[in-house]
Amino acid sequence: MRHFPFFMILAVGVASTAIAATTYLIEAAHNDETFIINGEVFKAHTYCLGWEEGEQILFIEGSPLGVCVTAELYNLNREEKCSVWCE
C-alpha cells in the first residue's frame, strides 16, 4: 500500500472543490439593469445588455445572498461579465 504525505492529500482535496461552482438562474430581469437572482435584487452598475430570465449565472465576486455592496457576475449563456450593486 502506498502512502501519500498529508499536504498532497490536502492539495488534491482543495483542487477538487475549487472546480465545483454553484450556478444560479436569473429569476427575473428588467431593462438590462435589475435582476432577481437567488431571491435577491441586483442592479447593474451600467447595463448587462440582453441578460434575460432563465440564463445561468456564476458569482465571481460578491454574495448570491445579497450580503455585499457590489458583485461581479458571469453569464454562462452569453460568456459575459457584469458588475452589479447588491441590494
The full set of domain ranges for the chain reads 21-86
At residue 1, the pLDDT reads: 55
Grid coordinates of 11: 492539495
- Cα separation, 15 vs 5, in Å, equals 16
- The pTM for the full model equals 0.75
At residue 2, the pLDDT reads: 57
Q: Looking at domain 21-86, does it have CATH number 2.30.30?
A: yes
Question: How many residues comprise the chain?
Answer: 87
- Cα separation, 53 vs 50, in Å, equals 10
- CB proximity list for 36: less than 8 A, separation 6 or greater: 26, 27, 28, 29, 42
- Cα separation, 42 vs 25, in Å, equals 13
At residue 87, the pLDDT reads: 81
Tens of pLDDT along the chain (87 residues) come to: 555 554 444 444 444 445 578 999 999 999 999 999 999 999 999 999 999 999 999 999 999 999 999 999 999 999 999 999 998
